[in-house]
């Protein structure tokens, strides 16, 4: 199965089990997808290659 998404002007074609997988009915993006996308969305994604962690409140 393939899907499309776009960031800016260039659409990305998503390939199941390469760019994402389905877990408990939810789409989980892989590290390969994040690298292909090229930037961090700052959502603390499970496979984020950019190492983003949200600041914790004290």
pLDDT digits 0-9 by tens, 7-49 = 555 677 899 999 999 999 999 999 999 999 999 999 889 999 9
Please tell me the total count of domains within the chain.
Answer: 1
53 domain residue, yes or no: no
30 domain residue, yes or no: yes
13 domain residue, yes or no: yes
Rounded to two decimals, what is the model's pTM? 0.70
Provide the sign of the torsion angle of the four alpha carbons 33, 35, 48, 56, taken in this order: negative
Residue 9: phi and psi, rounded to 5, are: -105, -10
14 Ramachandran zone, left/alpha/beta (phi>0; psi -120 to 50): beta
19 domain residue, yes or no: yes
49 domain residue, yes or no: no
């Amino acid at each position: 199965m393939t899907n499309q998404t776009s960031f800016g002007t260039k659409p990305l074609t998503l390939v199941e089990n390469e760019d994402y997988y389905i877990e408990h009915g939810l789409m989980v993006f892989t590290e390969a997808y994040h690298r292909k996308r090229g930037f961090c969305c700052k959502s603390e994604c499970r496979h984020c290659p950019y190492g983003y962690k949200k600041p914790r409140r004290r």
